[in-house]
Amino acid sequence: MRSITTPLSDEIIRSLHVGEPILLNGVIVTGRDAAHKWMIDTFVKKTKSANAEDLAVYEMLKTLLNGSVIYHCGPVVSKDENGEYRFLAAGPTTSIREEPYQADVMKHFNVKGVIGKGGMGAKTLKGCQEVPFVYFHAVGGAASYIAQSVVKVHGVHKLDFGVPEAMWVIEVKDFPVVVTMDSHGQSQHAVVDESSQKVLDDLLQKPY
């Protein structure tokens, strides 16, 4: 199984193909619905004004996300007596909710990968080719197991969104994922959708 470490270069991303199992290492950032909408509205489309705190977080994100990976994750987090955070559960959340935002976020911040479950759509797949970046599928229902890959919580931004929606900066080691959308226009999710639709159509055409 191939091991890769953030920050990721365009060359590494172009070398990845659908179906390839990967062990991901390095610093990545979690982000779900609230984070993606905030990034789009405040910094990409600029339909909302940014306050001083937003601007400070933005400057940090430009460095953190450059060549890195966004993880669609709503973690369960504990805090010890020393004030250190620890992930207890870190399973992937459904990615398709971020379809309106993902490609634009990836382009703006030069993010090279997104982790989630269930795959994404045509807009994201086009962005995979243009930025470039890849979509990594993580196993659903394995939140406690995946949390073992989180070796350190470096910090958290936008905690006012709530723990699941905040942007957690984490370091992972040997995080197991599979490439299911690549920078060459291939999507395993599209293949599954097409084959499933064919089976459904065949079933609906059968007489009863």
Joined together, the tokens standing for residue 132 give: 């470039």
For residue 119, report the phi and psi dihedrals to the nearest 5 degrees. 80, 180
List, for residues 129-146, the tens digit of each pLDDT value: 999 999 999 998 899 999
- In the chain, the number of structural domains is 1
3-class DSSP string for 6-21 = CCCCHHHHHHCCCCCE
CB atoms inside a 10 Å sphere around CB 174: 13
Q: How far is CA 168 from CA 32, 172, 179, 190, 198, in A?
A: 11, 12, 23, 30, 40
List, for residues 40-52, the tens digit of each pLDDT value: 999 999 999 999 9
Q: Which amino acid is at 39?
A: M
The answer to whether residue 190 scores a pLDDT higher than 70 is no
Q: Three-state SS for 86?
A: strand
pLDDT at 107: 98
Rounded Cα gap, residues 187 and 41, in angstroms: 28
Rounded to an integer, the average pLDDT of 20-34 is 98
What is the residue range of 181's domain? 2-205
Average model confidence (pLDDT) across the chain: 92
Q: Which residue, 147, 39, 133, is CA-closest to 87?
A: 147
Full-model pTM = 0.91
pLDDT interval class at 196 (50, 70, 90) = very low
Q: Which amino acid is at 196?
A: S
pLDDT at 198: 52
List, for residues 144-158, the tens digit of each pLDDT value: 999 999 999 999 999
Catalytic-residue membership of 17: no
Q: Is 162 exposed, middle or buried (0-12, 13-18, 19+ CB in 10 A)?
A: exposed
DSSP annotation of 118: S
Rounded Cα gap, residues 56 and 51, in angstroms: 9
The answer to whether residue 10 scores a pLDDT higher than 70 is yes
For residue 122, report the phi and psi dihedrals to the nearest 5 degrees. -65, -40
Q: Which of 36, 137, 157, 189 is catalytic?
A: 36
pLDDT at 37: 98
List, for residues 174-187, the tens digit of each pLDDT value: 999 999 999 999 99
Rounded Cα gap, residues 69 and 25, in angstroms: 10
CATH number, domain of 58, equals: 3.20.130.10
